Structure 1
Amino acid sequence: MDWNGARVLITGGAGQIGSNLTERLIGMGAEITVADNLWRGKERNLLKNGAPMIDMEQQFHRVDLADKEACETVCKGQDVVIHLADVVAGINFVFGNQYFLFNKNALIDNNMIQSALDAGVSKYVYVGSACSYPADKQAVLDPPPFKEDDVYPALPESAYGWSKLMGEYLCQLAGESGKMETGVLRFHNVYGPRCEMSPEKSQVIPALIRKAIRHPQEEFVVWGSGAQRRAFVYVDDAVDGLVRVVERGMGKGAIQIGPDFSTSIKEVAEHAVAASGRDIEITFDTTKPEGDMDRAADWTKAKDILGWEPTVDVAEGIKRTYAWCDAELKALGNDGPA
Structure 2
Amino acid sequence: MRKILVTGGAGMIGSNLIKRLIKQGDEIYVIDNLWRGKLEYLQDDRGNDIIPLKTHFYDRDLSISGQCDDLLSKVEYVIHLADIVAGIDYVFNNQGDIFRQNILINSNVIASARKYGKHLKGFLYVGTACSFPLTRQNSLEVIPLREEELYPAMPESAYGWSKLMGQYEVDLLGKETEIPTCTLMFHNVYGAPCDFGNRSQVIPALIRKAVNYPNEKFEVWGSGEQGRAFIHVNDIVEALVLALDKGWNHGPIQIGPSICTSIKEIAEMIVKISGKDISIFYDTTRPEGDKARSADFSKAKRILGWEPRVNLEKGIRLQYEWIEKQIKESK
Tell me whether 253-262 or 43-52 shows the greater mean CA deviation: 43-52
In the other structure, the counterpart of 2:144 is 145
Deviations 1:125-182, CA, capped at 9 Å, x for gaps: 0000000111121110022101001111100000000011111111111111232110
In the other structure, the counterpart of 1:131 is 130
In the other structure, the counterpart of 1:185 is 184
Specify which of 280, 301, 305 is matched with residue 303 of structure 1: 301
Instruction: Please tell me whether the aligned partners of residues 142 and 260 of structure 2 are also in contact (alpha carbons under 8 angstroms).
Output: no
Tell me whether 318-327 or 294-303 shows the greater mean CA deviation: 318-327
In the other structure, the counterpart of 1:208 is 206
Query: Following TM superposition, where does structure 1 have runs of at least 4 consecutive aligned residues deviating by more than 3 angstroms?
Result: none
Aligned-residue offset at 1:52:
1.1
Specify which of 24, 27, 33 is matched with residue 31 of structure 1: 27
In the other structure, the counterpart of 1:277 is 275
Aligned-residue offset at 1:330:
2.4
* Structure 1 CA distance for aligned equivalents of residues 167 and 214 of structure 2: 43
Deviations 1:75-128, CA, capped at 9 Å, x for gaps: 331111100000011111111111111111011111101112322222110000
* Structure 2 CA distance for aligned equivalents of residues 116 and 249 of structure 1: 18
Between the two proteins, what is the percent identity of the paired residues? 51
Instruction: Please tell me whether the aligned partners of residues 13 and 35 of structure 1 are also in contact (alpha carbons under 8 angstroms).
Output: yes
Aligned-residue offset at 1:325:
1.1
SS at match of 1:125: strand
In the other structure, the counterpart of 1:19 is 15
Letter aligned with residue 228 of structure 2: R
* Structure 2 CA distance for aligned equivalents of residues 124 and 22 of structure 1: 16
Instruction: Please tell me whether the aligned partners of residues 227 and 263 of structure 2 are also in contact (alpha carbons under 8 angstroms).
Output: yes
Specify which of 262, 265, 268 is matched with residue 267 of structure 1: 265
In the other structure, the counterpart of 2:69 is 72
Tell me whether 266-275 or 126-135 shows the greater mean CA deviation: 266-275
In the other structure, the counterpart of 2:172 is 173
In the other structure, the counterpart of 2:85 is 88
TM-score (norm 1): 0.95
Tell me whether 87-96 or 293-302 shows the greater mean CA deviation: 87-96
In the other structure, the counterpart of 2:103 is 106
* Structure 1 CA distance for aligned equivalents of residues 143 and 321 of structure 2: 33
Aligned-residue offset at 1:270:
1.1
Q: Give the 5 Å matches for 1:290-329.
A: 290-329=288-327
In the other structure, the counterpart of 2:59 is 62
Tell me whether 175-184 or 293-302 shows the greater mean CA deviation: 175-184
* Structure 2 CA distance for aligned equivalents of residues 114 and 332 of structure 1: 41
Letter aligned with residue 52 of structure 2: D
* Structure 2 CA distance for aligned equivalents of residues 244 and 290 of structure 1: 33
Letter aligned with residue 230 of structure 2: F
* Structure 1 CA distance for aligned equivalents of residues 328 and 171 of structure 2: 44
In the other structure, the counterpart of 1:9 is 5
- Please list every run of 5 or more consecutive structure 1 residues that lacks an aligned counterpart in the other structure: 334-338
Aligned-residue offset at 1:71:
2.2
* Structure 1 CA distance for aligned equivalents of residues 195 and 52 of structure 2: 23
TM-score (norm 2): 0.97
In the other structure, the counterpart of 2:112 is 115
- Please list every run of 5 or more consecutive structure 2 residues that lacks an aligned counterpart in the other structure: none
Deviations 1:267-312, CA, capped at 9 Å, x for gaps: 1111111221211111110010000000000000000000000001
In the other structure, the counterpart of 1:238 is 236
Deviations 1:10-38, CA, capped at 9 Å, x for gaps: 11101010000010000100001111111
Letter aligned with residue 284 of structure 1: Y
Instruction: Please tell me whether the aligned partners of residues 114 and 177 of structure 2 are also in contact (alpha carbons under 8 angstroms).
Output: no
